[in-house]
Structure 1
Amino acid sequence: MANEYATRDELKGQLGIETADTSRDALLDKALTAASRGIDRATGRRFWLDAAPTARTYRLHARVVCQEDGDVLLVDDIGDTAGLMVESASAGGGTFTPVTGYETTPDNALADGFAITGLLRPNGIWGTAFTRIRVTARFGWPSVPDDIAEAALIQATRLYKRKDSPEGIIGSAEWGVRNLSRRDPDVWNLIEPFVVPGFG
């Protein structure tokens, strides 16, 4: 298991399974992985952090927001500034050169437990439409938000129990037989604030 948003033991607690009972571990792990990757797809981002800085290259087209205090380059979520490096290259395959004098946005994002989503050039611009920007950073989130962890547990529980309702129909002595809803409203309420704007 790697990069799941909840642990197997947490899921066992949710389902009332003893921690020492390992007979269903493979099914539980599968449900946790599917729930976590489903949240990634639904939100358009991931909430685990790269182990080491990696480089990503951006073209400025449709990625720059002009603000009163300068241009903001929208980047993939950055969860740690250790090893953060920004470089630019002009059109025609020029050599990348270091960029200084930028700020991360939103202000205090990492301190508040959120990811950095933009790089601001105070009172400046990032270049032309043909400029390429290379950002080396640890991409992802500083830690898994509580709402995302809870959504993963709810969805993993639902996926684990799905084996008992292969046709999408569940039975209950209290409610009778009913169809499963396409989207769990509690999961959606928990993850909706994290959906990348324009993605969901």
Structure 2
Amino acid sequence: MANEYVTLEELKRQFSLEADDDSRDEDLNRARASASRSIDKTTGRRFWLDPVPVQRTFNPRGRIVREDDGDLFLIDDVGSAAGLVVEIGAGASWSAVTGFETSPDNALADGKPVTGLLQPLGTWGTVTSRLRVTAQFGWPAVPDDIHEAALIQASRLYKRKDSPEGIIGSAEWGVRNLSRRDPDVWALIEPYIIPGF
């Protein structure tokens, strides 16, 4: 398991389990992995950073936004400027692009990812051209909201084994059905959902 947004130790503290008690580790790890990946699927993005730059190719169709100050090419989240290389072309013919600006302004300084590349007062070429980006994709760091949502959701998933068929009982509230979606988790992750996803 890798790239979970909550640690095993944090989840154990949530249930007041001793750190050296490993009898529930398998279930806890499964819950935290499922919680993290469900956040990725719901938001349409991932909040962990590639350890090294990787290469991705983007089709311009539906990814170019015409702005007053140039064309903005929308890309997957980039969490670090280290090793960022942008090329344009197709097939075996690629040429380096210079003079582009990252967008939004100051994203990395604010702990947010770069989501677009602006060609100031210019265009990104023809419809048949592709954009090849080499970068560390993801977020610079896991946002606090995502961490908290993963902790809540992992706790909920772990306790799910005690609520067969989605029914949970409590001396205080009686028997009730579990809601389909946790409102607190949803409130925490909703601002991070990619628009239109």
TM-score band w.r.t. shorter chain: over 0.9
Which runs of structure 2 are paired with 1:50-129 in the superposition (5 Å)?
A: 50-89=50-89, 93=91, 95-129=93-127
Deviation, 1:132, is 0.7
Q: Which residue number corresponds to residue 42 of structure 2?
A: 42
Q: What stretches of structure 1 of length at least 5 have no aligned partner?
A: none
Provide the rounded CA distance (Å) in 1 between the counterparts of 2:98 and 2:88. 10
Once the two structures are TM-superposed, the CA of residue 94 in structure 1 deviates from its matched residue by: 5.2
Q: CA RMSD in A?
A: 0.8
The 2-side partners of 1:166 and 1:126 are apart by 54
Q: How much has 1:13 moved relative to structure 2?
A: 1.1
Q: Corresponding residue for 2:172? A: 174
- Once the two structures are superposed, residues 90-116 of structure 1 have per-residue CA deviations (whole angstroms, 9 ceiling, x without a partner) of 5xx351010000000001111111010
Q: Segments of 4+ in structure 1 off by > 4 A?
A: none
Q: For residues 169 and 19 of structure 2, what CA distance do their matches in structure 1 show?
A: 27
**Distance of 1:94 and 1:5 partners within structure 2:** 38
Q: Deviations over 1:19-60 (max 9, x none)?
A: 121110111000000000000000000000001111111111
Amino acid of the structure 1 residue aligned with 2:34: A
2:2 aligned with 1:2:
yes
User: 1:43-83 CA deviation, whole Å, 9 max, x = no partner?
Assistant: 00000000111111111110000111000000000000100
- Tell me which amino acid in the other structure corresponds to 1:139: F
**Alpha-carbon offset, residue 190 of structure 1:** 0.1
